[in-house]
């Protein structure tokens, strides 16, 4: 399974520091989970500030292959993506969940 590093930026708009215990995330393309990852030993994000950190991600070759096969059979101009992230801030507070969805244009790749 191929791995690579990705950078994440966390913004803390609150008046208390954010002590991150862990993070997990999934990137979905066309309904298939193609990238997953998790990390710990994350920085404390001070109040009203932001922090960045790097995580190792793993790409699923088989899911990527199935997406490419589907795109060859059913060409289209865009593909839907979803990025789901869960930030663990400890046992007292609930996890912070962030989800972003959108479309990636494929028309420029032709």
Extents of the domains making up the chain: 3-109
How high is the pLDDT of residue 7? 84
* Helices and strands (DSSP H and E) totals, the chain: 1, 8
Mean pLDDT of 53-65: 87
- Name the band, by pLDDT with cuts 50, 70 and 90, for residue 109: low
Per residue in 47-63, is it b (16+ CB within 10 Å) or e — as a string?
eeeebebebebeebeeb
pTM score: 0.80
Structure-block tokens of residue 85: 């992230």
Confidence band for 8, pLDDT divided at 50, 70 and 90: confident
With a cut of 80, say whether residue 57 has pLDDT above it.
yes
Q: The tokens of 100 are what?
A: 């972003």
Domain 3-109, CATH among 2.60.40.1820, 3.20.20.140, 3.40.605.10, 3.40.50.300 = 2.60.40.1820
Mean pLDDT of 53-67: 88
Q: What integer is the mean pLDDT of 77-94?
A: 89
Please state, as a whole number, how many other Cβ atoms lie within 10 Å of the Cβ of residue 27: 20
**For residues 79 and 105, what is the distance between their CA atoms, to the nearest angstrom?**
7
Give the pLDDT mean for 45-50.
95
């Amino acid at each position: 399974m191929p791995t690579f590093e990705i950078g994440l930026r966390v913004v803390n708009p609150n008046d208390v520091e954010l002590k991150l215990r862990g993070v997990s995330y999934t990137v979905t393309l066309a309904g298939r989970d193609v990238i997953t990852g998790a990390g710990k030993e994350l920085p404390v994000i001070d109040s009203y500030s932001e922090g960045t950190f790097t995580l190792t991600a793993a790409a699923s070759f088989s899911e990527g292959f199935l997406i490419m096969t589907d795109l060859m059979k059913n060409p289209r101009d865009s593909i839907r993506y979803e990025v789901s992230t869960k930030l663990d801030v400890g046992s007292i507070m609930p996890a912070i969940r962030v989800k972003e969805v959108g479309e990636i244009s494929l028309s420029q790749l032709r």
